[in-house]
Amino acid sequence: MYQIDPPRPRKEVLPTMYNLKSEDLEKSVVTDEFHDFQSQLLRETFYPLNYPAEKIFVASNLKLYYDPRNHLCYKRPDWFAVLGVSKSSQQQDLRLSYVVWLETIRPLLVVELLSPGTEAEDLGQTLREFNTSPTKWEVYERILRVPYYVVFDRYTNHFRVFILVATRYQELSLPEQKLWLEDVGLGLGLWQGSYQETQGLWLRCYDADGNWIPTADERAQQERQQRELAEQKVFQERQRAEFERHRAERLAARLRELNVDPDQL
C-alpha cells in the first residue's frame, strides 16, 4: 500500500531553484509565481497616454539581444517596455526575442525583481570577470543606456529607481514610493492590494490623477457595475413613471366624482 508522508512544516528549509543551479546560469530561465504575477500586473496596467496601444511593446523574461558584433550576447530582463515599435497583431508574428540593432529602439524601462541568486548583479554589485559577458547593470547602463531602471525586492518591499544621467545611473529619492514618467504621462509605484488572489505590495502603474490603472478584471467589473447602475436607473425611472400614471388616474377619478371633467382643466 502506498504510504503518504505527513505534510512538511512550512518553515522547514528545503532547496529551492535558487539553490539548485543549472549548468548554465546565463541560459537558464529562473522564474516563480511572484515573477509571473508581477509581470502580468505590469503588462495589464502599462498604458502610456502618449502612444497608441499598437506602438507599445512589453515583455517578461524575453531574450534581449544587445551586441550586433556578438549575436550570442543577451540578457533576460524580468520585465521591460519599449515605446514606438510595432506590436505583433498576428500570432505567427509574435517575437521570439528582442534584437535591439534590428528594432533600432532601445527599451525605455527595465524592471528587475530581486531574487536571492541575482540581487548582486541586478544592483551592479557584481564585478565582471575577465573574458566574461557584461553584467545586467553594465548592459542596461553603458550599452543599451536604458533611461529608467527599476528594481523591487518583495522580501523587504524596497522599491528603487535609477535614471540615466549622462553616462551613469543615479538613484532617485522616492519618499512616496512612486515614480512619475513625465515624457510618457504614466507613473509607477507600490500598490497595496490583492492580485491573482494574492495579497501584498505590487508594482503598478497609475495615471496623471494618481489613480491606479485598472486591470482587465477590474475594468470588466467596473463595466458590469456601470451596466447594473444604468439598469437600476432605468428601473427606477419606470417605477416613477408608473407611480405618476397611477397618481394621475386616481386624481382624475376623484375629479369625476366631484362632477369635474379632468380633461377640461
121-142 residue pLDDT tens = 788 777 666 677 899 999 999 9
pLDDT for the residue numbered 21:
46
Is it true that domain 33-213 has CATH number 3.90.1570? Answer: yes
Check pLDDT > 90 for residue 55.
yes
pLDDT at 112: 97
What SS3 state is found at 109?
Answer: strand
C-alpha cell at 120: 548582486
Q: In the predicted model, is pLDDT for residue 31 greater than 80?
A: no
Using pLDDT thresholds of 50, 70 and 90, give the confidence band for residue 28: low
Long-range contacts of 96-99 (CB under 8 A, 24+ apart): 96/63, 97/62, 97/63, 97/64, 97/65, 98/57, 98/59, 98/62, 98/63, 98/64, 98/65, 99/65
**C-alpha grid cell, residue 156:** 523587504
> What grid cell was written down for 134?
557584461
Task: Give the residue extent of every domain in the chain.
Answer: 33-213, 220-264
DSSP secondary-structure letter at 139? I
Distance, in Å, from the CA atom of 36 to the CA atom of 118, rounded to the nearest integer, reads 17
* Mean pLDDT, the chain, integer: 85
What pLDDT shows up at residue 107? 97
Q: How many residues does the chain have?
A: 265
| pLDDT per position as a tens digit, 144-200 | 999 999 999 999 999 999 999 999 999 999 989 999 998 899 999 999 999 999 999
CB within 8 Å of 108: residues ≥ 6 apart: 81, 82, 83, 146, 147, 148, 184
Contacts of 55 (CB under 8 A, 6+ apart): 83, 84, 85, 86, 87
Q: What is the pLDDT of residue 229?
A: 74
Q: Over the range 193-207, which residues count as b (16 or more CB within 10 Å of their CB) and which as e?
A: eebeeeeeebbbbbe
Nearest partner of 81 among 115, 117, 45, judged by Cα: 45
Low-confidence winner among 11-15, 94-98, 187-191 (lowest mean pLDDT): 11-15
Is the overall model pTM greater than 0.85, yes or no? Answer: no
Strand ranges inside 132-173, DSSP E:
148-153, 158-165, 168-171
Neighbours of 112 (CB within 10 A): 24
Enter the DSSP assignment of 16: -
pLDDT, residue 209, reads: 94
With CA atoms as reference, report the closest residue to 150 among 179, 111, 180, 113.
111
The predicted pLDDT at position 235 comes to 78
The 10s digit of each residue's pLDDT in 68-78 is 999 889 999 99
Between CA 24 and CA 13 the distance in angstroms is 25
